Amino acid sequence: MANSEGLELVVTEVRAETPLIRSIVLARRHGEPLPSWQPGAHIDVQVPGGGERSYSLINLKSDPDAGTRPTAYRLGVRLEDPGTGGSRFMHALKQGDAVHVTPPSNNFPLEPDHRPVVLVAGGIGVTPLVSMAGALVAEQRPFRFYYAGRKRQELAFLTEINALCADRLTIHADDETGGFFDIKALMTSLAGGERLYCCGPLPMIETAIAVAKELGWEQGRLRFELFAAAAPRADDASFEVVLKSTGESFQIPPDKSILDVLIEAGKDPLHDCKRGDCGICHVTVLEGVPDHRDYILSDTEKAEGKLMQICVSRSKTPRLVIDL
């Protein structure tokens, strides 16, 4: 894991932001300061069964020191149905409950330059972006914020975001406009080299990635974070993975990732997002052909087949040897 040291926190506040989204505030039992964080950061919350779920940290104020040794962490959690149980656990939390979390980690940082910034949020993807908006206001940096969802009443933190961003905020509600937010049209209109930060559902992210390639955007101009990993495919098959360092062999079933199998076997490979968008779990491939399903490697790197992200990518050959 990116962070192995844990924090024992308690729930100090739970509030319904929409019918499906709750904000949850966590703090130390006696209010001691917590580790600092920057916009885009998240914590991992341990859920029953031994798993963890990542949730972005939220700041809804234009305070430049909001993330410096704070006394509380605020999260926004959408109830997913169907889901893997993490959101149900989070929505069942009440004031006084204890949770175990990792210190903040950031795979989606706001770059410290002075170019104009465009923020695009889809649904619960607003959580990391609103913290970026707070920092941009505090730093007096130019930005625009697009917040999209199916219905206006499903958009969490809307009152606070309106107050924070004012005329820099554009709201898109599908039921009011008759269609989904057109991220391609937005990206095509950006002629000033603006850096775009996007967080939302997988189709939005995949469209943004495709449009960036189509428009010939420079590497790094589009920054994004996913909130869910791609689902297994119907034609996924088992394959063998061999670790070069020990010679150990592991069978990877269709419904589990290489990373999951290695963790279950007591290994501790570096990892964080488990969605293929942070790049921390990459390994070198020594034999075999990887089936790339990440959002980090370039087309050239994928074609070379020398690297892979073991949290989501699989194998096109019956056997892979990796440098672990």
Tell the burial category of 216 from Cβ atoms under 10 Å away from its Cβ (0-12, 13-18, 19+). exposed
Looking up residue 146, the CATH number of its domain turns out to be 3.40.50.80
Q: What is the mean predicted confidence (pLDDT) over 79-83? A: 75
Do 222 and 247 lie in a common domain? no
Contacts of 219 (CB under 8 A, 6+ apart): 298
Per-residue pLDDT for 2 more than 60? Answer: no
Percent of the chain at pLDDT above 90? Answer: 80
Residue 39 lies in a domain: yes
Residue 205 in any domain: the answer is yes
What is the domain-level CATH number for residue 277? 3.10.20.30
3-state secondary structure of 291: strand
Q: Are residues 40 and 78 in the same domain?
A: yes
- Alpha carbons within 13 A on the beta-carbon side of 301: 15
Range of the domain at 30: 7-101
Query: What are the tens digits of pLDDT across the range 276-316?
Result: 788 889 999 999 999 999 888 888 899 999 999 999 999 99
User: Residue 63 and residue 139: Cα distance in Å, rounded?
Assistant: 9
- 211 plus 274 within the same structural domain: no
Measured from the Cβ of residue 141, the count of other Cβ atoms closer than 10 Å reads 16
Asked whether residue 127 is domain-assigned, the answer is yes
* pLDDT 10s digits, 13-38: 999 999 999 999 999 999 999 999 99
| Residues with Cβ within 8 Å of residue 152, at least 6 apart in sequence | 158, 171, 173, 175, 176
Return the pLDDT at 3.
44
pLDDT-derived band of residue 273, with 50, 70 and 90 as boundaries? Answer: confident
Residues in Cβ contact with 213 at an 8 Å cutoff, skipping those fewer than 6 apart:
none
Are residues 14 and 53 part of one domain? Answer: yes
Residues 245, 186 share a domain: no
Nearest to 225 by CA among 263, 194, 196: 196
Same-domain check for residues 178 and 208:
yes
User: What value does the mean pLDDT take over residues 236-264?
Assistant: 93
User: Is 214 part of any domain?
Assistant: yes
Residue 198 CA to its chain's centroid (Å): 10
- Taking only the tens place, the pLDDT of each residue in 157-169 is 999 999 999 999 9
The answer for residues whose C-beta is within 8 angstroms of residue 272's C-beta and 6 or more apart is 1, 2, 44, 54, 105, 107, 278, 280, 281
- For 22-74, give the DSSP string: EEEEEE-TT--------TT-EEEEE-TTS-EEEEE----S--TTTTSS-S-EE
User: Do 122 and 222 belong to one domain?
Assistant: yes
- Residue 272's pLDDT is 79
Q: 122 with 199, same domain? A: yes
Q: What is the pLDDT of residue 42?
A: 96
Last residue of a domain, one of 194, 226, 258: 226
Residue 69: inside a domain, yes or no? yes
Give the rounded percent of residues in the chain with a pLDDT score beyond 70: 96
Is 268 found in the same domain as 167?
no
Torsion region of 287: left, alpha or beta (phi above 0 gives left; psi -120 to 50 gives alpha): beta
Whether residue 275 has pLDDT greater than 80: no
Q: At which of 199, 226, 253 does a domain end? A: 226
Position 107 in a domain = no
Work out how many domains the chain is built from and give that number.
3
Spatial separation of the C-alpha atoms in residues 256 and 269, rounded to whole Å: 15
CATH code (residue 72) = 2.40.30.10
Pair 222, 275 in one domain: no
Q: Span 77-97, mean pLDDT?
A: 87
- Say how far apart CA 286 and CA 125 lie, in whole Å: 37
Same domain, 121 and 210: yes
Does residue 108 sit within a domain?
Answer: no
Q: With respect to residue 110, please indicate whether it lies within any of the assigned structural domains.
A: no
Burial 240-257 (b: 16+ CB within 10 A, else e): ebbbeeeeeebebeeebb
pTM metric for this prediction: 0.84
Q: Identify the CA nearest to 237 among candidates 299, 298, 291.
A: 291
Can you tell me which residue has the tokens 């419904």?
255
Q: Indicate the residue among 71, 101, 131 that finishes a domain.
A: 101
Q: Is there a single domain that holds both residue 74 and residue 139? A: no
Compute the average pLDDT of residues 230-245: 88
